[in-house]
Amino acid sequence: MEIDNIINDYTLRELQIISSRILSEHEATNNFIKQFKADHDSHQFYKNVINWYVKKYKNFPEL
Burial 1-39 (b: 16+ CB within 10 A, else e): eeeeeebeebeeeebebbbeebbeeeeeeeeeeeebeee
How is residue 25 annotated by DSSP?
A: T
14 touches 24 (CB < 8 A): no
Q: Crossing angle of helices 42-57/12-24, nearest 10°? A: 50
Position 28 confidence tier, pLDDT thresholds 50, 70, 90: confident
Reported confidence tier of residue 38, pLDDT bands at 50, 70, 90: confident
- Would you say residue 62 has pLDDT above 80? no
**Section 33-54 average pLDDT:** 94
pLDDT of 1 over the 70 cut: no
